[in-house]
Amino acid sequence: MKTTSITSKTRFLVLLLIAFIFSSSYFVAQNSITINSNKSKSKISISNGKNDLKIEYEGEITLSEDDSDIKDISRGGYIEIKKSSFGKRRKIIIERDGSKLVRKYYVGWSEKDYYPDGKEWLKDILPEILRSTTIGAESRVDRFYAKGGAKEVIAEIQEMESDYVKSAYFKLLLKKDLSKNDVTTTLQAIGKNINSDHYLSSILRKNQRLFLKSPETIDAYIAAAKKVNSDHYLTQIVKSVVSNKSITDTQLGSLLKISSSINSDHYLTEVLKDVMNDRTLNSQNMEQVMLLSKSINSDHYKTIILKKALKMNNLSKDAYDTFIDSLDDVNSDHYATEVIKELMSDSLNTEQLNKVLALIKDNINSDHYATVIYKRIASRMKLTENQLISVISSTKHIGSSHYLSSTLLAFAPKVKKGSDKVKDAYLKAAKSINSDTYLGRAMKAIY
């Protein structure tokens, strides 16, 4: 028993040690990059747990064609590179002095000959520096693009770790005269290679005229936008699309699909409000807005969109049907009543009215709120005889004698002037009143 216990304990410690080693290796492999820049000077610190690399520079730096050396620095400029690795420290300083570059190389605190050791060390570390910073980015993009077009630039970007640096290179690439296929390929690479929502959204909010030049590029743009996880940044992208007046209705209809990835009711509501405020929507896009409203779970936010949609006065039959479907999802009697009250216009066709009556019956559990809606119908709507009969007949589901009586009294003036069919419908509804007092009031109102 004692031996078994020791063996189990040893096995546990070994597993724990292995887990620590692997987790430590993973941690060490990750680069931590800090960048501080002012108008002229930049400071960059790169650390991965084993090595510390610090770069400070000012001015425009020109690289050799093979990225192995610094060929030139603009007037008044310099670059200082320091690296510490396992206690060993090395440093290079290159600065312009008149018409020439002065190069210095240090190991520890001692200055050493720059040639050949300093030059060789710079050659060794430049690839890491160039893929971790934006030093020489513009000239490098020009060179890679001249060599193999967008694909060559993208291949270099894929070797980089920092989203900050990747985004800088992508922005430079997008300034080139890209073909439709190049734009599609670049958008696909942007969505695949940039993990930061901040940097990804920053690229997608700009260059929209370029990104939306064809159905293929639009599809690639939507796919890239859907890689954004943050509702905040995704909302910024959609809002920039909505406010871009150069985007056509057809393009807008496609781009609204991005909004389906927004999970926050608050942000989705903000987007849909902006769409209705800033754009004159065609029937297809209005229907798209109504479809998106179904994704809003909050009765409060859904009500804001539905009430605003009614004020647009351009709901097609399909959009209206989707509107009713969205309203059917509202659970709160209070909010459903607010929307239905707004829905009450001077006239609804029979099909539309029947849908409203079905909503009252199926969705409004409160007799109080049902009565509020019926009274709005009585006071605001111009009803045909058949519509009036349908409305009165539908009131029978009101369980409270007080509220049913109050509802029928609201229709009494119309019933009094109506046909015998209307009066018969009124009498049948009144039979559901259990209180003699309330029944008497309802009957007295039409005679």
20 part of a folded domain = no
CA distance 92 to 445: 100
Residue 213 lies in a domain: yes
Give the pLDDT of residue 345: 65
Q: Is residue 98 part of a domain?
A: yes
Whether residue 345 sits in one domain with residue 295: no
Residue 346 has pLDDT above 80, yes or no: no
Q: pLDDT class for 421, splitting at 50, 70, 90?
A: very high
Note whether residue 445 is domain-resident.
yes
Q: Is 50 exceeded by the pLDDT of residue 180?
A: yes
Yes or no: say if 83 and 90 are a contact pair by the CB < 8 Å rule: yes
Q: What long-range pairs does 374-377 form, CB within 8 A, spacing at least 24?
A: 374/407, 374/410, 374/411, 375/406, 375/407, 375/410, 376/340, 376/341, 376/344, 377/344
Compute CA distances 389 → 293, 327, 350, 392, 396, whole Å. Answer: 33, 24, 11, 5, 12
The model's pLDDT over 23-48, given as tens digits with 9 standing for 90+, comes to 333 333 456 778 887 777 889 888 87
Task: Compute the average pLDDT of residues 332-340.
Answer: 94
71-98 pLDDT, tens digit each: 999 999 999 999 998 878 999 999 999 8
Final residue before a domain boundary, out of 135, 162, 185: 135
Q: With 60 as the cut, is the pLDDT of residue 70 above it?
A: yes
Residues spanned by the domain of 420: 337-447
Q: How confident is the model at residue 4 (pLDDT cuts 50, 70, 90)?
A: very low
Whether 67 and 152 map to the same domain: the answer is: no
Q: Considering the entire predicted model, what is its pTM?
A: 0.78
Residue 9 lies in a domain: no
Confidence of residue 224 (pLDDT cuts 50, 70, 90): very high
| Mean pLDDT within 114-143 | 93
Q: Which of 229, 255, 282 is the last residue of a domain?
A: 229
Q: Are residues 104 and 142 in the same domain?
A: no
Mean pLDDT of the chain: 89
Point out the least confidently predicted range of 105-114, 243-252, 370-379: 243-252
Q: How far is CA 138 from CA 130, 167, 222, in A?
A: 11, 13, 28
- Residues of the chain with pLDDT > 90, as a percent, come to 70
Tokens of 233: 């940044």
**pLDDT surpassing 80 at residue 376:** yes
What per-residue confidence (pLDDT) applies to 54? Answer: 94
* Residue that terminates a domain, selected from 85, 116, 135: 135
Binning pLDDT at 50, 70 and 90, where does residue 300 land?
A: very high
- Regarding whether 223 and 248 lie in a shared domain, the answer is no
Q: Which residues contact 25 (CB under 8 A, 6 or more apart)?
A: none
Residue of 7 and 381 predicted with greater confidence: 381
Is position 399 within any domain?
A: yes
Better pLDDT: 100 or 2: 100
Same domain assignment for residues 363 and 287: no
Same domain, 175 and 186: yes
pLDDT over 60 at 14, yes or no: no
Segment 179-195 shows an average pLDDT of 97
Percent of the chain residues topping a pLDDT of 70: 93
Residue 1 in any domain: the answer is no
pLDDT at 152 over 70: yes
Band of pLDDT at residue 22, cut at 50, 70 and 90: very low
Could you tell me if residue 26 is inside a domain? no
Same domain, 361 and 385: yes
For the cut 80, the answer to whether the pLDDT of residue 111 exceeds it is: yes
**Which tens digit of pLDDT belongs to each residue from 45-64?**
888 777 889 999 999 999 99
**pLDDT of 13 over the 70 cut:** no
The answer to whether residues 57 and 38 touch, using CB atoms and an 8 Å cutoff, is no
Shared-domain flag, residues 40 and 119:
yes
Number of domains in the chain: 4
Compute CA distances 269 → 259, 279, 287, whole Å.
Answer: 10, 15, 15
Domain shared by 312 and 367, yes or no: no
Predicted confidence (pLDDT) at residue 357 exceeds the cutoff of 70: yes
319 and 238 within one domain: yes
pLDDT at position 30 is: 54
Is 437 found in the same domain as 391?
A: yes
Dump pLDDT digits (tens) for 250-266: 889 888 989 999 999 99
Give the pLDDT confidence score for residue 248 in this predicted structure. 87
**Residues 296, 235: one domain?**
yes
pLDDT of residue 68: 94
Tens of pLDDT, residue by residue over 386-402, are 999 999 999 999 999 99
Q: Do the beta carbons of residue 80 and residue 57 sit within 8 Å?
A: yes
Which three-class secondary structure string do you get for the chain? CHHHHHHHHHHHHHHHHHHHHHHHHHHHHCCEEEEEECCCEEEEEEECCCEEEEEEEECCEEECCCCCCEEEECCCCEEEEEEEECCEEEEEEEEEECCEEEEEEEECCEEECHHHHHHHHHHHHHHHHHHHCCCCHHHHHHHHHHHHHHHHHHHHHCCCCCHHHHHHHHHHHCCCCCCHHHHHHHHHHHHHHCCCHHHHHHHHHCCHHHHCCCHHHHHHHHHHHCCCCCHHHHHHHHHHHHHCCCCCHHHHHHHHHHHHHCCCHHHHHHHHHHHHHHCCCCHHHHHHHHHHHCCCCCHHHHHHHHHHHHHHCCCCHHHHHHHHHHHHCCCCHHHHHHHHHHHCCCCCCHHHHHHHHHHHHHHCCCHHHHHHHHHHHHHHCCCCHHHHHHHHHHHHHCCCHHHHHHHHHHHHHHHHCCCHHHHHHHHHHHCCCCCHHHHHHHHHCCC
Mean pLDDT of 182-196: 97
Mean pLDDT of all residues in 287-314: 92
